Structure 1
Amino acid sequence: MEFEDDTPTSDDEAVVVLGVVAAPGQPIGLARKLVDANLIEHVQTSFPGARWQIEIVEASVVQPPATDAQIVDAARDVLLEREWDLVVCLTDLPLHVGRRPVVAHANAVHGVAVLSVPALGPTGLRQRARTTVTGLVGQLLGADADDLRDHEKSPSKSPLRHRVRQLGTDVDDEGTAFTARVLTGNLRLLSGMVRANRPWRLALGLTRALTGAIAAGVFALVTADIWLLADTFGWVRLTGVAVGSIVAITATLIIGANLWERGSSRQSREQIVLFNTVTVITVALGVAAFYAALFVLATVGALCLVVPQVFGDALGHDPGITDYLEVAWLTCSLATVGGALGAGLETDEAVRDAAYTQHPAEPV
């Protein structure tokens, strides 16, 4: 079932397709009422920059009991199959962000939002749902509070309008040119998706990786052979080990948790290029933040635990601050490799929850 806004616009060539997947029963009934309540005009007015289309599909994407991650993955599969740009899933299952129950949440990286219809309450259902869905669309576009304020003040000049237009513009090139145009043409959208995903919080959600890193770091910090290696490696080798350790844990997380997507159709390939790019940037920035935190801890640990006299005897010369920093640097790199081993023990769901931040909808 497809609905299209017929309001004249200068951006007719750019079309953004918003899919609505609704479970049978109350969710699909609400989806149809939203169309009757002029949802498409509301979204078009709130986020100009392209012509919006809404397609409604009645489907039970998961069988209960199901986790939020399973709902997002299933809705993502429908999005790619039907070549939509964004999707909102209306479900009758409860939702959570962490352990906190929520009405809805949006995953900007996947382009998927999920709304729990029963959580909207018994009264004012249509109005609350329309407001919530519109807010979820804004979050899927990577908009934060500042973006929304700028958009309200000057819709024609706001970055959010540009993101909408880029999202709705088809890219027809192949190969490297295709990828380059997708990335450069959607640069604002991509940066907004990465920012909305909060990559610096990645390490906090990976307890096994963090435990493995700390264990490896403590072992390396009190080993005299590590002190000698750090002293003789030099800055070039230390940099190489650091880069290698970051690449190792990044690849472990992406490959181990099956975060890399593949597709064949033109529209899905454009979606997948954006998704995979955001995934790599998100995980790499998260690992870089993880590495920086470990470096600070390793530096403090080296200064507190490595006795200067013993350290000097092992090195054959009086240690200076540079020597302590070199030990902390190599220790941090080895600890990051230990974190990669720990990351391999994480469940796919834990990695996805850590890598892709779920943003709860604002109360309405």
Structure 2
Amino acid sequence: MTGTAGSSRSILEGRGERSGRRSGGTRTLLIGLVADPGFATEIAHRLAEELPGALAERSGYRLHCRVTVVSETLSRGEGERIIDLAAQRRAREGWDFVVCLTDLPLSANQGYLVGDLSRRANAAVVSVPALDMLRPAEQARDIVVRLILEWAGELPADSGDQEIEGGGVGVRSGVQPVAPTDEDIDVEYAAPAGRLRLLVGMVRVNRPWRLVWGLRNAVAAGLASAAFGLVSSVVWQLSGAMSALRLGIATVASLAMIVLWLILNHNLWQHADRRDRVEYRQVRLYNAATMLTLVIGCGVAYVVLLAGSLATGWFVVVPQVLSAVIGHPAHVSDYLRLAWLVSSIGTIGGALGSGLESEDSVRTATYGSRERHRPPREPQHT
């Protein structure tokens, strides 16, 4: 550890005035944060606010930093690693160190990668889906601070497996140092091989609740279908006669229809060669995240449709007229059942409207499609 730390220091001190600005034994570093658009960029902006103070405190105020955030999707060629692309961006920008926050799940020696460091490249990578489910930004800050300290040779020699303030690394956080499988990687942290944790992280990165805006054409078609149902006396009679079980089945069937239509219409389902176990496992994870994202997103859209149908029905459908059709005085429960049924009808109509959505509006919420459409890296000619 001591030899490695000394090597890191010599790298820092050899950069001249730019990275070696000293005052009373302190150094000021230029740190770049390159993050995928979306949730990863949100974490990067929060890191930019908290990293200078956290790094100064953890280094005993020997290290200070200025942070730059870049939000972009790194273009990868076949076989290229994210950490190498981040290092190339660091060299172009003139940063001392770069951290790439990617929204892709990455495999590690034991479990799934949370963060790794290459001293040769002066770069680190943090996989956002593998971060803590409840406090991803806090854990990202703690891990990034630790990686920078490792790189700069400022990490105390006896702090190997100790818990970082805030629970970034250690037994309680579930994140542990592992032996890197790549010879260019010096430090690697991984989370246990729990697919549920990683799947939840991937869905969180997708932010399925924002899918409602991406499906605005489907929601508009659903509202039009629901409006037709609200003024149909046949629908009134059906809502009064159907049991809660039947209404629930109608809800599940309508949601399944729109999810299936989105997958088929936008080619969101990935296929992999079963003989390639690594690729097959990754594709299964992508498909599961896509499916869960769509189910949650369409579920949120259904709730929006239900609330709109209930409010509209309460205003448009006169109680006396509804009572005459259903054969008993209309109560709040009758309006709820009516809104429930027309929401399911509207969701089926929304499935047809979802065919009008642009590829981009759906692609941003699905892992497999987003990865397939990452901008290709043009070949470099020397």
Match of 2:248 in 1: 239
Matched, 1:104 2:104: no
**340-349 vs 298-307, greater mean Cα deviation:** 340-349
The structure 2 residue matched to 1:208, chosen from 217, 235, 247, is 217
> Judging changes above 3 Å, is the alpha-carbon distance between structure 1 residues 248 and 138 closer, same or farther for their aligned structure 2 residues?
same
**Structure-1-length-normalised TM-score:** 0.57
The answer to whether the 8 Å contact 1:147/1:160 transfers is no
The 2-side partners of 1:297 and 1:158 are apart by: 44
Q: Provide the C-alpha distance between the structure 2 equivalents of 1:135 and 1:198, rounded to a whole number of angstroms.
A: 25
1:235–1:149 Cα change, 3 Å: same
Matches within 5 A, 1:1-364: 103-105=71-73, 124-127=93-96, 130-132=98-100, 137-142=126-131, 144-149=136-141, 152-153=164-165, 154=167, 155-157=169-171, 159=173, 161=175, 185-264=194-273, 265-355=276-366
Bigger Rg over Cα: 2
> Do the aligned partners of residues 157 and 247 (structure 1) sit closer, same or farther apart at CA in structure 2, a change above 3 Å counting?
same
Against the structure 1 CA distance between its residues 325 and 246, is the aligned structure 2 distance closer, same or farther, given a 3 Å change threshold? same
Q: Cα deviations across residues 46-95 of structure 1 (Å, max 9, x unaligned)?
A: xxxxxxxxxxxxxxxxxxxxxx9xxxxxxxxxxxxxxxxxxxxxxxxxxx
Find runs of 4+ consecutive structure 1 residues off by over 3 angstroms: 112-117, 120-124, 132-136, 140-143, 149-152, 354-358
- Unaligned runs of at least 5 residues, structure 2: 5-10, 13-36, 38-68, 75-80, 102-122, 144-163, 182-191, 371-382
User: CA-to-partner distance for each residue in 1:99-157, whole Å, 9 max, x for gaps?
Assistant: xx963258xxxxx979999xx799743436x2346676332535621332565424123
**Aligned partner of residue 156 in structure 1, secondary structure:** coil
Task: Give aligned-pair identity as a percent.
Answer: 32
Query: More relative contact order in 1 or in 2 (CA 8 Å, sep 6+)?
Result: 1
Aligned to 1:260, the other structure's residue is in SS state coil
**SS where residue 364 of structure 2 aligns?**
helix
Aligned residues: 240
Distance 1:231 1:135 in 2: 61
What TM-score does the superposition give when structure 2 sets the normalisation length?
0.54
- Residue 186 of structure 1 and its aligned partner are, at CA, apart by 1.7
C-alpha contact 1:210 1:339 (8 A) present in aligned 2: yes
Question: Structure 1: how far apart are the matches of 2:280 and 2:193?
Answer: 15
The amino acid across from 1:253 in the alignment is: L
3-state SS of 2:242 partner: helix
Q: CA RMSD in A?
A: 3.8
Separation (CA, whole Å) in 1 of partners of 2:130 and 2:301: 27
Distance 1:254 1:237, change over 3 A: same
* Residues 149, 122 of structure 1: alpha-carbon distance in 2 compared, 3 angstrom cutoff: closer
Alpha carbons of structure 1 residues 115 and 307: separation in structure 2 relative to 1, 3 Å: farther
SS at match of 1:131: strand
Question: Take 1:335 and 1:115, find their aligned partners in 2: how far apart are those partners?
Answer: 49
Separation in 2, partners of 1:145, 1:353: 21
Amino acid at match of 1:275: Y
Answer whether contact 1:228 1:314 (CA < 8 A) is retained: yes
Amino acid at match of 1:104: E
Distance in 2 between the 1:148 and 1:333 partners?
41
Contact 1:212 1:342 in 2 (8 A): yes
Please name the residue that 1:23 is paired with: none
Which runs of no fewer than 5 residues in structure 1 stay unpaired?
A: 1-6, 8-36, 39-67, 69-100, 107-111, 169-182, 359-364
Indicate how the Cα distance of structure 1 residues 324 and 104 shifts in structure 2: closer, same or farther if over 3 A, else same: same
Aligned mates of 2:308, 2:124 — CA distance in 1: 40
Where 1:137 maps in the other structure, the secondary structure is strand
